[in-house]
Amino acid sequence: MLSVHGERKILNHQKQAKLIKAGIFIDGKSFEPKENIHILIQNDKIQRISKAKKTVIPKNIEVSDLSDKTVMPGLIDAHMHFFGVPSLDVKEKFTETKESRILRALCEAGKMLKAGITSACCQGSSISPVLRKLIDVGYIKGPRIICAGEFICSTGGTWDYFDIPIDIVNKSGIFADGVDELRKKVRERIRQGANIIKIGLSKGHIYDSNHIWGDNPCMTVAAYSAEEVRAVVEEAHLNGLKVSAHCIGDISVQLALNNGIDLINHGYGINEETRNKILKTKKMIVSTISQIYFHIKAEKKYNYSLKRKEIYRIHWETMKRDFKKNIEKGIKYALGSDLVGYPTHPQDQFAKEFELAVKWGMKPMQAIISGTKNSAEAIGIDKITGTIEPNKAADIIAFKGNPLDDIKVLQNIDFVMKNGQVLYS
């Protein structure tokens, strides 16, 4: 802890200092909150964290008095998408102009930041590297973005829409088959600005209505061979990038575990043997409950077919079953929403993932850590952000209420700081 005199000395000798007075303080790594804490910030970094003292704060210091609020790290969505098209038909991304998609995504990014999402991982979209650059240079407000660029998909694989002519899908650069093509595709993604690689390892059966997710999550098939997966992992790791995989069902999760995949997305439709292997290998799963939740919420208003509703119900029940079993087993989760945009899947509603995780068995603080510290670790930015501690970026949010009593208070953010700059208050 910093003494009163130590705190005053730093305040007097460093320029552009800011002080946050926190009523309830959650640092993102401890399982118990603290009360009446001061957070000292210099430029974009957290400098000191100390108990509040009766001290005179110099007039030239910017003070954010949040003593009536809970203060915690900014939310980190470990899996979402900036497709830049209406969520009702994401296949428009193959035909809509890049300029139109970027403009739509810029608005979505701003809404996310206002909702307290200070970092996010776009796990598949060709426009995400451009969006990241626009945010990084300060042209627009948005979360810190980790991005995969376009998906990497086998022909007939996870994100290959059979009802669209193959020449149209092929223009997106999504396809890669065989070891040599996959190595080259990873290099292309890096050149395009990706700082994580996303590959699809599971797909529906050839007769399934839902090709991406599969009609039954326990009966999906593999989209790549082990040799192909290893080639992607080796090439990405040579360049210091993580590989994230779409995995629904035992076959794809085992494929990921056996061949060096860093991050398992979805991770349900699995048996006990696979569950034990996830625990043994200490791999993290990204949750994505919100994707199915918002489909079920939208089905009446947007006239989903009976078959489509049935498929989402099967996924919902299977995901819930395996989430609960995984939590009981001690498997580590990062929280990700898999939200793709308005009108049905608004990316700024990531806080719903915390509520759903708690409903399905997480303790409130466990969910908070999963959606801050663990999410940062999952997407490779844990040395930068994810917790409130010295030398990390000052990505901080605040709100009324105590999330340990009611996790839903995360859905009403009053204060957002990113990189030490107060953006909303």
**The pTM is what?**
0.94
Q: Nearest Cα to 2, choosing from 373, 390, 383?
A: 390
> Could you give the 3-state DSSP secondary structure of residue 80?
strand
**Residue 54, pLDDT score:** 58
Q: Nearest Cα to 25, choosing from 55, 58, 90, 69?
A: 69
> Could you give the 3-state DSSP secondary structure of residue 327?
helix
Which class is domain 4-73+394-424?
mainly beta
Cα–Cα distance between 103 and 171 in angstroms, integer? 21
Looking at residue 152, the DSSP 8-state letter turns out to be B
Does residue 239 register a pLDDT over 90?
yes
Does residue 175 register a pLDDT over 50?
yes
Render pLDDT for 54-113 as a digit per residue (tens, 0 to 9).
555 767 889 999 999 999 999 999 999 999 999 999 999 999 999 999 999 999 999 999
Cα–Cα distance between 224 and 244 in angstroms, integer? 14
Does residue 339 register a pLDDT over 60?
yes
Q: What percent of the chain stands above pLDDT 70?
A: 96
Average per-residue pLDDT in the chain?
94
Cα–Cα distance between 399 and 117 in angstroms, integer? 13
**Residue 13, pLDDT score:** 39
Render pLDDT for 34-44 as a digit per residue (tens, 0 to 9).
999 999 999 89
CATH superfamily of 75-378: Metal-dependent hydrolases (3.20.20.140)
Render pLDDT for 388-412 as a digit per residue (tens, 0 to 9).
999 999 999 999 999 999 999 999 9
Confidence of residue 7 (pLDDT cuts 50, 70, 90): very low
Does residue 2 register a pLDDT over 80?
no
The stretch 127-137 carries a mean pLDDT of 96
Which structure tokens are listed for 181?
Answer: 């093509």
Instruction: Name the residue ranges covered by the structural domains of the chain.
Output: 4-73+394-424, 75-378
